Amino acid sequence: MKVVIVGAGFSGCSAAIAARMQGAEVVLVERTDLVLGCGLVGGIMRNNGRFTAAEEMLAMGGGEMFRITDSITLHRNVEFPGHHHAWLYDARVIEQTVRAALLEHGVELHLGARVDEVEMKGRVIRAVGGKQGKGEARFEGDAFIDASGTAGGPPQCTKHGNGCVMCVLRCPSFGGRVSITAKCGVKEMAGMTGGRLGAMSGSCELRKESLSDEVLSRLEETGVAIIPLPQELRSGGKLAIKACQQYTDTAYSDNVIILHTGHAKLMTTHFPLELLRKVPGLEKARYQDPYAGGLGNSIRFIGMAPRDDRLKVTGVENLFCAGEKAGLLVGHTEAIVTGTLAGYNAANAAADRKTVAYPGTLAVGDAISCVRRGMETEEGLGVKYTFSGSVYFDRMVKMGLYETDVEKIRLRVDKAGMTGFFAKAGRSG
């Protein structure tokens, strides 16, 4: 059995490892020269309900990516507005660490390979074609996973945002994202934010060397720097267009909030550079990602796949989806959760074994189901979901799914019959 995964972000990498654990031959295709995509400039794990989700996955045997990010954590139990017990991984070394894990697991990794065609027979994908280097490429498999994300290329950011701001996705260099789901003829869905299509990425990276010694020292020592903004620089308008709606609290418009992820992670969509440099300690600030972070950020959540709770794409028998492609779930933890399930199910579908959904008694299962139901309504397409805040974290708390006691989380997983589930190869479901 052979699984082909398009897109090597957190979801695609998680899917690749999960499929390999089920005994599948796995081909992971990535259009750029680096794995992890947005994870290259991420860094935030285990904040709020993400702690619960991570521990559920570890208890189920599907926590390889969490073990990796835990192993390169710079700060633990960081507190910042609206967020508790956050862990911040080192974004400077995450890519090479994950790439080594993929190779160790025996994943066949193709970088600089841009998929642009799909061959189908009826409702089944037969092969995908594209370019690798300067030549043509063909990737055949028994099951496929669309982990291509929902951001890029430049025309999308120009049409729905402030233009290409030269972000870490580097579409002008490697070509824009190609949706396998759309290539199969499936009508995709688009999220809405404040009456406009899509949503803007919610953070930027500053060069640490451009911060004042005092701000840098505080950042490296505690993991967070909160700098009050002068009244004339405060603006809440940007908060409404963020993909990460857990950061719409006025604390993010009244302050500059920076997290230490190896880089200096600025928790706002964008901030005009000439104004940012008026903030004490940021007089010499420079953007690292996106380079034009004074103008805007990348546009996401345009082009999501209709799917069931097992992450099978509606209308294609052997296509699964993960990450933002699977819906309005925002964040790396969320990508790992969906990627692991998609990888497991794609491998089992390729082997004519049963596929599964996460139990609804677990936060990871409830979230996937909740998002799927929400996306079936016009109102739901205007909401973003995450374990770390906004409407879904509120739901977690209300339903008693939010838990930080690791032993209690493990007992809940065991009660659901899922202890070590993903670590057992060849499960029939």
CA pair distance 118, 143, nearest whole angstrom: 13
Summary mean pLDDT of the chain: 94
Tell me, yes or no, whether 217 lies in a domain. Answer: yes
Can you tell me the mean pLDDT for 308-325?
98
Output phi, psi for 127, to 5 deg.
-165, 160
40 shares its domain with 141: yes
237 shares its domain with 266: yes
Q: How many other CB atoms sit within 10 Å of the CB of residue 359?
A: 18
Please tell me the number of Cα atoms within 13 Å of 265 on its side-chain side: 23
Q: Tell whether pTM > 0.85.
A: yes
Total residues found in the chain within this entry: 429
Give me the number of domains the chain comprises. Answer: 2
CA pair distance 295, 18, nearest whole angstrom: 39
Identify the domain containing residue 206 by its residue range. 199-289
Tell me, yes or no, whether 97 lies in a domain. Answer: yes
CA pair distance 118, 184, nearest whole angstrom: 7
The residue written with tokens 């929400």 in the block is: 374
Q: What is the pLDDT of residues 355-398, one digit of tens each?
A: 999 999 999 999 999 999 999 999 999 989 999 998 999 999 99
102 shares its domain with 151: yes
pLDDT for 428 beyond 50: no
Tell me, yes or no, whether 409 lies in a domain. Answer: yes
208 shares its domain with 64: no
Name which of 192-201, 376-385, 394-403, 413-422 the model is least confident about. Answer: 192-201
CA pair distance 145, 319, nearest whole angstrom: 6
User: CATH no. for residue 124?
Assistant: 3.50.50.60
Can you tell me the mean pLDDT for 194-198?
85
Query: Which residues make Cβ contacts (< 8 Å) with residue 404, sequence separation at least 6?
Result: 51, 52, 85
First-residue to last-residue Cα distance in the chain: 17
Q: Which of 289, 323, 348 is the last residue of a domain?
A: 289
Report the percent of the chain where pLDDT is more than 70.
96
Q: What is the pLDDT of residue 247?
A: 60
232 shares its domain with 271: yes
CA pair distance 3, 27, nearest whole angstrom: 6
